Amino acid sequence: MNQISSISEFLLHAQTEYHVFDMGRTIRSLDSQTFLNIENASEAAPYPRQEHAWFGIVFFSRQLSREHYIWFVKLPLDEKGLVISATRNHFLQIITDALGAQLERNKEARGRLPENPYTFVPNQQQLADFNSVSRGVLKLPPSEYYSAAVRYIAHPQAHNWQEVALQGIADVAASVRRKDGAQLITAHLFETAPQVQQALMSSLENYPLDKSVSQQLIDNAEQHFADLSLIQWTLRALSQSVASTIVKAFIQKILDSQHNTVPEIMLLIAARHWQYLQDEKVLRQYIERLALIDIELCADLYSDLVRIPSVRPAMLGIIRWQDKTYALTQVIGHLFSGQQK
């Protein structure tokens, strides 16, 4: 086992087929070469969060068993968003020492790694979403809870929402990629109980919503624009929308409104819609307002955003702005003082 130098190589050496998902900011499938580049620190993690890259790894062996196993792994990143090689190597040493080469034959490999600082447990929503996303990528059918969730959403007045499983709701969200699924969601979503709306819209963040679905979500949010919870759910649902023009306009409307004083909403823009901060006009309005709300929160979000490769140049550019507001100047000073986490 001494010659194995990466997690990817370990899984291949163990004769497994595997698939990796980035779980940093929503759940997205990663091709094997990209994952190898990331873990070898030759490519920055595309969606870092809290100074880590977050992965869900599904693996199985067609020869030995059709059962799928899952590891949830987080790897620390340096200031440029690259995996710190020593920590990846430490994790690799832990799994090779504990499991050896015959991964599928080892009972400990069945979703349970030795206790270590590199694994994490997703919350219930993330687990349900991961199951739905991964089953779709692996071309597996939805869970046993899917049918009941479809029945409820199609006729919410005829069923008790409390009998609908979170996994079933996540499976319905996954169906948005199909025409019938998208029609079901847009026709009945806002007739369902608020708890179901929240869960379903949170799950939608993992899928590239088309313009039609995105527009209906935005129209509903704008009709109830004073509803802070609905604005937050809508921002999450639009996370991977391909309708960038209307999503950007929706975010601009939020920034132009009194919602720009709500920390939770401003946090969601950074967490799910960072790509729109590449526009200097949007970035300036966003970061200057955030600096007025909370200097420490602004500094923390800056430190988080600067590690995202796509927005890193824009975030670094803030330091060179000649006409920074007093509040933003304080944030920059806070960053350089080393007081932020």
pLDDT tens by residue, 288-314: 999 999 999 999 999 999 999 999 999
Give the residue-averaged pLDDT of 87-100: 88
Q: Is pLDDT above 70 for 317?
A: yes
In 3D space, the residue among 249, 308, 142 whose CA is nearest the CA of residue 241 turns out to be: 249
Percent of the chain scored above 70 by pLDDT?
94
Q: How many CB atoms lie within 10 A of CB 222?
A: 13
* Tokens 């990528």, residue located: 137
Residue 303 vs residue 337, higher pLDDT = 303
Rounded to two decimals, the pTM is 0.93
* Tokens linked to 144: 């046993």
Q: Is pLDDT above 80 for 237?
A: yes
Local confidence band at 64 (pLDDT 50, 70, 90 cut-offs): low
Tens digit of pLDDT for each residue in 247-286? 999 999 999 999 999 999 999 999 999 999 999 999 999 9
Percent of the chain scored above 90 by pLDDT?
85
Rounded Cα gap, residues 176 and 183, in angstroms: 8
**Checking DSSP bridges between strand 65-76 and strand 28-30, what pairing results, if any?**
unpaired
Rounded Cα gap, residues 151 and 176, in angstroms: 16
Q: Is pLDDT above 70 for 104?
A: no
pLDDT of residue 34: 97
The crossing angle, in degrees rounded to 10, of helices 280-293 and 263-272 is 140
Give the residue-averaged pLDDT of 224-250: 98
Q: Is pLDDT above 70 for 105?
A: no
Contact 245, 269 (CB under 8 A): no
* Tokens linked to 311: 């927005």
Tens digit of pLDDT for each residue in 201-218? 999 999 999 999 999 999
Rounded Cα gap, residues 53 and 16, in angstroms: 23
Local confidence band at 68 (pLDDT 50, 70, 90 cut-offs): confident
Rounded Cα gap, residues 13 and 8, in angstroms: 9
Contact 149, 169 (CB under 8 A): yes
Q: Looking at residue 60, what DSSP letter applies?
A: E
Alpha helices by DSSP H, listed for 45-123, are: 85-99
pLDDT of residue 299: 95
pLDDT of residue 341: 44
Give the residue-averaged pLDDT of 105-126: 78
Q: Is pLDDT above 70 for 2?
A: no
How far is Cα of residue 217 from the mean position of the Cα atoms in its chain?
Answer: 19
Tens digit of pLDDT for each residue in 6-61? 999 999 888 889 999 999 999 999 999 999 999 999 999 999 999 999 999 999 87
Radius of gyration of the chain (CA): 21
Alpha helices by DSSP H, listed for the chain, are: 7-13, 32-39, 85-99, 124-137, 146-154, 166-174, 179-188, 194-203, 211-223, 228-237, 244-255, 263-272, 280-293, 295-305, 312-320, 326-337
Q: Is pLDDT above 90 for 109?
A: no
Q: What is the mean pLDDT of the chain?
A: 93
pLDDT of residue 87: 97
325's CB contacts (< 8 A; 6+ apart) are 288, 291, 292
Contact 47, 308 (CB under 8 A): yes
Q: Looking at residue 155, what DSSP letter applies?
A: S
Rounded Cα gap, residues 14 and 37, in angstroms: 20
Q: Is pLDDT above 90 for 106?
A: no
* Tokens linked to 261: 């004083």
Give the residue-averaged pLDDT of 138-160: 96
